[in-house]
Amino acid sequence: MQQQDIQVGDVVWLKSGSPSMTVDGFHQTSKNFYRCFWFNEEGNAVSEYFNQLSLTTNDNTLKFSVKNRSENQ
């Protein structure tokens, strides 16, 4: 299987399913890990490092939605 060339600024998803995430950078000691940002269900920005083999640029994964805070009040 050919590895994807993921760049800073790309929108990616976990192959196992995730919200859309934006690549922001690389791990300091391993270029195989990308730092990704996304918004959780509460609308807060979250970031984490993921191995490039677990990421895809194809939006063929599970869909997640963010709840509107005003709907819960």
Q: In what order do the strands lie in the sheet with 45-51?
A: 45-51, 33-39, 21-26, 11-14, 55-56
The whole-number pLDDT of residue 1 equals 42
The whole-number pLDDT of residue 20 equals 93
Q: Each residue's pLDDT tens digit in the chain (73 positions)?
A: 445 689 999 999 999 888 999 999 988 888 789 999 999 999 999 999 999 999 999 876 455 566 666 655 5
The whole-number pLDDT of residue 46 equals 96
C-alpha span between 43 and 38 (Å, rounded): 9
